[in-house]
Amino acid sequence: MNYAKLFMRRKDGLYQAKYKEGGKWKTLSAKDPKVLYDKLQAKKTAAPMTVGELIDLWYAEQETVVSYKTLESYAAPIRRIKAELGGRIAAELSAGDIQAFIIWISRRGYARRTVQLHRDILTMAYRWGLFNNKVTSNPAADQTIPKGLPIAHRGVPDDAALAAVKASAGVPFGLYAIVLLYTGLRRGEALALRYEDIDRKNQIMHVRRSVVFCSNSPEIKPPKTATGVRDVYFPTALLAVLPKGKTGWVFPGLDGELMTKQAFRIRWERYCETIGHQISSHQLRHYYATAMFEAGVPVLTAQSQLGHAQASTTMNIYTHLREQQQRSAFAQIEDYFAG
């Protein structure tokens, strides 16, 4: 083996290598690369794996098997886990230690789904460790989530924000917001929209592809679900602001090609600043679902328009909206009798 090729050689002639111990990077050096190799192997064998190192190894494999969007959702929980537990020896972490961490996270005001994601990441990392002989048990398995945590629901923008969006056709990137408002497209579906996909005569958008971001780079893929390939009806209010006679991407970057993730963020932030309201793409999609509910559109029709794989997903949205409607009615009754 050519050991010299394995390491960096410094200006002073010594070969150098780095290794991680206790969650921190450390350096070894030697004049003979074979000696350095042996020293490094001894360190790797002797140093017990930390929780942070276990998660890093598990995450490196996840990068090849899950979507970039899923990896994004892991980022913040992983930072919190590593900040609190990263330096601990993975094999020594007990079920009680992890339950204490989950309770600590739950007391910081996060919604149930967020707390659960912390637990799930630890469970998956330890399961990977078991399979790859890095640990001998999974202390994260079967950990319970505290009761009474808030369940996050993505609400619609308020009336002022909706009015600002509807009036923003002449604002840079305003068309993007209006398209989402009146069609319920997902962000990636809208960014992958071409003018050739728009049937103005029948007021239909043919959804056939979606943009996903791999790091900062956009890639074209099929929609999120098989039912995501669909024809979406759009109202006359949108037809009135859609440009005529154009071809190509509806929402391109400055070079005419697909926007990068950073370019999208900048344009969206500037748009929100211009209209004076902080809203998200998903909130506009949720407004579309709310509008269908209030218009009495049947669940299966709404499912088709939203591109949900399961009717239960649409039903859950409708159920939540119906509960909100009932609570509002009860509040009105309460005000009436209190008057």
Model-wide pTM > 0.75 = no
To which residue do tokens 């902080």 refer? Answer: 278
Cβ-based neighbours of 127, under 8 Å, separated by 6 or more: 138, 141
> Does one domain contain both 247 and 174?
yes
> Does one domain contain both 91 and 191?
no
Q: Quick check: helix, strand or coil at residue 300?
A: helix
- Across-strand partners of 20? 25
CATH classification at residue 182: 1.10.443.10
Nearest to 230, CA basis, from 155, 309, 314, 293: 309
- Whether 189 is in a domain gets the answer yes
Tokens of 68: 């970039």
- Whether 137 is in a domain gets the answer no
- In angstroms, the CA 159 to CA 167 distance is 12
- In angstroms, the CA 278 to CA 165 distance is 11
> Does one domain contain both 33 and 70?
no
> Does one domain contain both 167 and 281?
yes
Q: Tens digit of pLDDT per residue, the chain (339 long)?
A: 788 888 889 889 898 988 776 556 788 888 898 888 888 877 766 668 899 999 999 998 887 777 766 887 898 899 999 999 999 999 999 999 999 999 999 998 888 888 999 999 999 999 999 998 889 999 998 888 988 876 655 567 888 999 999 999 999 999 999 999 999 999 999 999 999 999 999 999 999 999 988 878 999 998 877 888 999 999 999 999 999 999 999 999 999 999 998 899 999 999 999 999 989 898 898 888 888 888 888 888 888 888 888 878 778 777 766 666 666 666 666 665 665
CATH classification at residue 125: 1.10.150
Total domains, the chain: 3
pLDDT confidence of residue 320: 66
What would you report as the CA-atom Rg of the chain, rounded to the nearest whole angstrom? 26
pLDDT confidence of residue 286: 86
> Does one domain contain both 307 and 219?
yes
> Does one domain contain both 218 and 278?
yes
- In angstroms, the CA 140 to CA 286 distance is 34
- Whether 330 is in a domain gets the answer no
* Tally: H helices and E strands in the chain: 13, 8
- Whether 248 is in a domain gets the answer yes
Find the angle CA(97)-CA(100)-CA(104) to the nearest 5 degrees.
140
> Does one domain contain both 88 and 194?
no
> Does one domain contain both 232 and 90?
no
> Does one domain contain both 209 and 284?
yes
pLDDT confidence of residue 47: 66
> Does one domain contain both 291 and 204?
yes
> Does one domain contain both 35 and 62?
no
- Whether 98 is in a domain gets the answer yes
Cβ-based neighbours of 159, under 8 Å, separated by 6 or more: none
- Whether 246 is in a domain gets the answer yes
The residue segments making up the domain with residue 252 are: 159-323
- Whether 177 is in a domain gets the answer yes
Q: Contact, 209 vs 192, CB < 8 A?
A: yes
- Whether 35 is in a domain gets the answer yes
- Across-strand partners of 89? 50
| DSSP per-residue string spanning 111-152 | -HHHHHHHHHHHHHHHHHHHHTTS-S--TTTTPPPPTT----
What is the spatial order of strands in the sheet that 230-233 belongs to? 198-199, 204-207, 230-233
Distances (CA, A) of 178 to 288, 289, 333: 11, 15, 36
> Does one domain contain both 170 and 318?
yes
Total residue length of the chain: 339
